[in-house]
Amino acid sequence: MTRKNLVYVWSLRNAAADKAGQPVAYKDHKRYMKSVLEFLVGSLNDTSLGEAYNLVGVVYDDDEQNPRDRQLVADYGFAYQPGRQWLYPADLRVQGRLVNDLLLSVPSTYRRLPRGSAEHIAGKQDFERRLHDTLVELKADVVVLDGLLVILDELVRPGAPFARRIMNIHPGITRLESPYERRGAYATWNALYGARGQVVDWVTKETKPCEPLYLTGASFHYVDNGIDSGEVFHDVLKTEISPDDTILELRWNNFNNSLFPALHEGLERLARRPL
């Protein structure tokens, strides 16, 4: 089997919010918060997934000139620095290469501009062109988005070179017909509040009562230009929720019980499909 070139795309600020690469409080002890990237690297190194894929790049969109981005990644920085906390072990290698050597910055600088302005729209188009050019340079066959806090447009339009070659791994079930459906940036929060019998309006912060649901999961889906609305390729619903969980406890549980399996199993299935 010829290995497919795999590119992983994320936002450092999202991983930082998860305390990736750190021990986090879990009930009466601590547990290590493994990032999705670190899990993927382990799968490529230690399982048959490495026979199907070659990780050729790790792209992040964070903007060093954006004050908010600097604040959100303040505990980590934008690149590994000796003696400083990082999102995964500094010596982490994938298929013989240092993961740090695969890092590439394609900053979404348009986020600094007024939303909806002509400059913002042009900046978004420029970001997608730069990301497209990076993927072409890396000869990407498959692209996995994880916590990329950007909605793609041109890259995933029907007929575009990377349409149906860009997948997202999402910490929630995205099938609309599922009672456990959780989309968007607040998916984990919505699952936690749902287990407490509440629905939250994140604009007003008002809550309404609902029938509690005590499960959540993860979806591996094609990316379209909506919010977690692409066709589901594979999903896993195996994360039990306790109403007294903290957000990081639930994130840890969901990563390990649903999201990691959904990514691994989804990539296995995808490897058997022709490009």
Domain assignment present for residue 47? The answer is: yes
Domain assignment present for residue 121? The answer is: yes
Give residue 1's pLDDT.
Answer: 66
pLDDT digits (tens, 9 = 90+) for 177-223: 999 999 999 999 999 999 999 999 999 999 999 999 999 999 999 99
Q: Is the pLDDT of residue 275 over 80?
A: no
Q: How far is the C-alpha of 101 from the C-alpha of 95, rounded, in Å?
A: 12
Domain assignment present for residue 205? The answer is: no
Domain assignment present for residue 182? The answer is: no
Domain assignment present for residue 148? The answer is: yes
Burial 125-151 (b: 16+ CB within 10 A, else e): eebbebbbebbeebebbbbbbbbbbbe
Residue for token digits 């022709």? 274
Q: Is the pLDDT of residue 115 over 70?
A: yes
How many domains does the chain divide into?
Answer: 1
For all residues of the chain together, what is the average pLDDT? 97
CB 147 within 8 A of CB 12: no
- State percent of the chain over pLDDT 70: 99
pLDDT digits (tens, 9 = 90+) for 54-68: 999 999 999 999 999
- Two tokens, residue 91: 């010596």
Give residue 274's pLDDT.
Answer: 79
Q: Is the pLDDT of residue 147 over 80?
A: yes
Q: How far is the C-alpha of 251 from the C-alpha of 189, rounded, in Å?
A: 9
**CATH classification at residue 160:** 3.40.50.170
Domain that holds residue 140: 4-174+215-272
Give residue 149's pLDDT.
Answer: 86
Half-sphere exposure of 139 (CA within 13 A, CB side): 6
Domain assignment present for residue 183? The answer is: no
- What values do phi and psi take at 160, rounded to 5? -70, 155
Q: How far is the C-alpha of 152 from the C-alpha of 110, rounded, in Å?
A: 13
Q: How far is the C-alpha of 146 from the C-alpha of 268, rounded, in Å?
A: 17
Task: State pTM to two decimals.
Answer: 0.96
E strand intervals along the chain: 4-10, 23-26, 29-32, 53-60, 93-94, 97-98, 103-105, 142-146, 166-170, 198-200, 207-209, 215-222, 232-240
Domain assignment present for residue 141? The answer is: yes
Domain assignment present for residue 117? The answer is: yes
